[in-house]
Amino acid sequence: MTSYKNQQLPLEKVFRDPVHDYIHVKHPVILDLINTKEVQRLRRVKQLGTTSFTFHGAEHSRFSHSLGVYELTRRICDFFESNFSSAKIGIGGWDDQERLVALCAALLHDVGHGPYSHTFEHIFHTDHEAITREIITSPETEVFQVLNRVEAGFPEKIAQVIAKTYPNPQVVQMISSQIDADRMDYLLRDAYFTGTEYGTFDITRILRVIRPYENGIAFQMNGMHAVEDYIVSRYQMYMQVYFHPVSRGMEVVLDHLLKRAHFLYQTDPDFFLYSAPLLVPFLRGDFTLQDYLTLDDGVLNTAFLQWLKAPDKILQDLAARFLHRRPFKSVMVEQDKDWQNLNQMAQWIEAVGYPLSYYTAINSSYDLPYDFYRPESKSHRTQIELMEPDGSLVELSQVSSLVAALAGQGQKDERFYFPKEMLTKPAQGQLFEEFYHQFQGKIHNGKIIHDKEFTHDDSTSYH
């Protein structure tokens, strides 16, 4: 009998997908993983969290993204196997024995994401990457049971790919690099569901020019423009979608709402035992993997509905702002300028009766669209390599002046958030509005944060 590892489904299974058309499943291990309760939970977690408050189409789930990353990885493996197999080209070629490891890692790379991941992690200090590895390697999960049937030690191999410590760099870079199946899927999928055009790029072409080499993955020189277009799309999606100030205004409301619940739990645990029992392990700061796997968007939203009736006015008000979509308003703030004005605004906000730590925040978004390899930098990344016909490698920004212009340029958007009603308060409204307009297009001074104890919440990305 063929081993589980080498079996094929008698009939291939397909999932219809709006981005990749069909997602093809040929291997029973993949189908069994999709059917585990841990992977099915991802249907109940939105991929983009609060972005749907701005782009209402963006209701797609982490489940559809996970299938998409799997499908792109499968296509890359197929292409490598037909054109660059190690049997054919020797050293630096693709060894198709690695296919199942790559496919499982692709499907499972986000299995540890929780509801509104970024904000939840900020308040409760959870770590979705560590939890992903835990789900993969804990004997109690269905995911582990499927992987362990393949062979002993197989779950640990998948966890190594996620941790980027797996010995084969081709497999690691397929799932995680500056141009990988994960990013390629989320850019296309998020562009599709938000209805923006920025994220689209020529995936068909990229999947024709990608190739393995000894130290990882490269692209053929004649595919340079497709890769360049991908970098520009990435830059535009971050600037236009992921950094959107209104989505972040909702994220700040959510952050403060959870922070308030966390604070109140210390003095009134009973209220939370009946209004949000599934959140109690997190409020208490002592949770198990099973507690975590019970979480989804519905659990949080149901708690917020209960909190509309909370005795605490701040909890009640922040829950209403979140459920009824009343984002905090923001101004861009700038280093070394006008920090007195920001302090003045803070004083007015306080005078009206809003506690600053629940009603204001400095929120920074940051992304580095592309960088070349800098071994000295803190979190250095592999650069994108293009391969000349003679087999020599050139780093992308050496040949693309478009990418050279973006390389190493971090994109930052820093904002001060406050309740929108401040603009219409009779006493301070007019003055406040004047300041607000002065502030448009400026940034804060770091001092302010310490003087006034604003919440400092950095959002880098949703992924």
Please list the residues that pair with 412 across neighbouring strands.
366
The answer to whether 282 and 299 are in contact (CB under 8 A) is no
Q: Between 234 and 326, whose beta carbon lies closer to Ni ion?
A: 234
The interface region with Ni ion, picked from 51-59, 72-80, 109-117, 168-176 by CB under 5 A, is 109-117
Q: Between 110 and 228, whose beta carbon lies closer to Ni ion?
A: 110
Q: Between 182 and 371, whose beta carbon lies closer to Ni ion?
A: 182
The interface region with Ni ion, picked from 102-110, 203-211, 263-271, 400-408 by CB under 5 A, is 102-110
**Count of residues in contact with Ni ion, rule CB under 5 A:** 2
Shortest CA distance to 307 belongs to which of 290, 328, 283, 289?
283
Report, in Å, the least distance between residue 456 CB and Ni ion. 26
The interface region with Ni ion, picked from 90-98, 105-113, 258-266, 415-423 by CB under 5 A, is 105-113
Q: Between 217 and 310, whose beta carbon lies closer to Ni ion?
A: 217
Report, in Å, the least distance between residue 162 CB and Ni ion. 11
The answer to whether 317 and 311 are in contact (CB under 8 A) is no
Tokens read off for 278 = 């599934």
Q: How far is residue 65's CA from residue 157's CA, in Å, rounded to a whole number?
A: 22
Tokens read off for 205 = 């072409």
Shortest CA distance to 212 belongs to which of 26, 393, 66?
393
Report, in Å, the least distance between residue 239 CB and Ni ion. 20
Contact map string, positions 170 to 189, toward Ni ion, x by CB under 5 A: ------------x-------
Q: How far is residue 26's CA from residue 14's CA, in Å, rounded to a whole number?
A: 9
Shortest CA distance to 355 belongs to which of 313, 320, 324, 322?
313
Side-chain half-sphere exposure of 162, counting CA atoms within 13 A: 25
Report, in Å, the least distance between residue 165 CB and Ni ion. 19
Q: Between 114 and 223, whose beta carbon lies closer to Ni ion?
A: 114
Report, in Å, the least distance between residue 66 CB and Ni ion. 7
Which amino acid is it at 269?
A: P
Report, in Å, the least distance between residue 75 CB and Ni ion. 17
Q: How far is residue 176's CA from residue 169's CA, in Å, rounded to a whole number?
A: 10
Q: At what angle do helices 245-265 and 313-323 cross, to 10 degrees?
A: 150
Report, in Å, the least distance between residue 108 CB and Ni ion. 10
Residues 182-221 within binding reach of Ni ion (CB under 5 A): 182
Side-chain half-sphere exposure of 406, counting CA atoms within 13 A: 21
- 110 is an interface residue for Ni ion by CB under 5 A: yes
Q: Between 159 and 345, whose beta carbon lies closer to Ni ion?
A: 159
Q: Between 182 and 190, whose beta carbon lies closer to Ni ion?
A: 182
Which strands, in side-by-side order, build the sheet including 393-395? Answer: 210-213, 216-220, 385-387, 393-395
DSSP 3-state helix, strand, coil percentages of the chain (rounded to 5)? 55, 10, 30
Residues 318-347 within binding reach of Ni ion (CB under 5 A): none
CA 279 to chain centroid = 22
Distances (CA, A) of 104 to 100, 114, 143, 266, 408: 6, 20, 10, 41, 32
Report, in Å, the least distance between residue 47 CB and Ni ion. 8
The answer to whether 203 and 76 are in contact (CB under 8 A) is no
Report, in Å, the least distance between residue 95 CB and Ni ion. 25
Name the H helices within 238-287.
245-265, 269-275, 280-284
Q: Between 110 and 457, whose beta carbon lies closer to Ni ion?
A: 110
Contact map string, positions 378 to 407, toward Ni ion, x by CB under 5 A: ------------------------------
Q: Between 113 and 415, whose beta carbon lies closer to Ni ion?
A: 113
Report, in Å, the least distance between residue 171 CB and Ni ion. 16
Q: Between 110 and 414, whose beta carbon lies closer to Ni ion?
A: 110
The interface region with Ni ion, picked from 80-88, 103-111, 233-241, 337-345 by CB under 5 A, is 103-111
The interface region with Ni ion, picked from 107-115, 204-212, 273-281, 283-291 by CB under 5 A, is 107-115
Q: Which residues bind Ni ion (CB under 5 A)?
A: 110, 182
